[in-house]
Amino acid sequence: MNDTSMQESLFEDRTPGAESHNERCSSLEALYEQSRDCARCRLSETRNNFVFGEGNPQAQIVVIGEAPGAEEDLQGRPFVGRSGQLLDKILAAIGFGRTDVFICNIVKCRPPQNRNPQANEIEACRPWLSKQLEIIRPSIILLLGKVAANTILDNKQSMGSMRGRIIQWNGYDVIVTYHPAALLRNPNWKYDCWEDMKMLKAHYDRVCANRHQGTA
């Protein structure tokens, strides 16, 4: 299987009535092809793989982390290391699998030694994320951790002031919670994360009910 057909099977839905889904698959595939050799910043010089993101092109929820780690860089997939295993459990706790949401990062290439992405790297990478959001058009964005939240919301606020509520940003309903890596270091924060996830699920159910009634 060549790279292009592998991407098709990752994103494409062949069930009847899935035209909109397939249009978004095609757009995401085109964006992947356009972005995969990106050399807009120096992270391209040290990466093994450009980690585009993966999941449901029609997802109502896009989950955004900070940057790929070592395992993600090797596999070319987001959140597949220890943090990813915890993220899978967190999503499963509210009834979601990886294919129900779309998972990606603020920057698509691994920063050396897992340092925080620098401002120029974030700026260089931002158009890829913006285009992903334009194509998927989710209702809800879940931001994992302070770096992702401060970057997207363009603020310097603490986690405590951003989490636990729904924030309006660019037409999206944004929920901020702890990054899974932070939860691995500080298990005491899991309680707050669980509260955030329950809020996310309740909001998701409301959004779906409204869409069903044609009011959203």
CB 139 within 8 A of CB 107: no
By the rule CB under 6 A, 57 interacts with ligand URA: no
By the rule CB under 6 A, 105 interacts with ligand URA: yes
By the rule CB under 6 A, 65 interacts with ligand URA: yes
Smallest gap from Cβ 216 to ligand URA, in A, equals 29
Phi then psi for residue 209, to 5 deg, are -65, -45
Q: List for the chain the helix, strand, coil content (%; round to 5).
A: 50, 10, 35
Which residue's C-beta sits nearest to ligand URA? Answer: 65
Smallest gap from Cβ 111 to ligand URA, in A, equals 10
By the rule CB under 6 A, 53 interacts with ligand URA: no
Residue of 57, 69, 117, 138 that binds ligand URA (CB under 6 A): 69
Smallest gap from Cβ 18 to ligand URA, in A, equals 27
Residue of 41, 62, 63, 67 that binds ligand URA (CB under 6 A): 67
Residue number, 84 or 138, with CB nearest to ligand URA = 84
Residue of 7, 83, 139, 150 that binds ligand URA (CB under 6 A): 83
Smallest gap from Cβ 102 to ligand URA, in A, equals 13
CA–CA dist 100, 61 (Å, integer): 8
Residue number, 57 or 84, with CB nearest to ligand URA = 84
Contacts made by residues 172-176, CB under 8 angstroms, sequence distance 24+: 172/133, 172/138, 172/139, 172/140, 172/141, 173/139, 173/140, 173/141, 173/203, 173/207, 174/140, 174/141, 174/142, 174/143, 175/140, 175/141, 175/142, 175/143, 175/199, 175/200, 175/203, 176/142, 176/143, 176/149
How far is Cα of residue 173 from the mean position of the Cα atoms in its chain? 14
Residues that bind ligand URA (CB under 6 A): 65-69, 72, 78-79, 81, 83-84, 105, 181
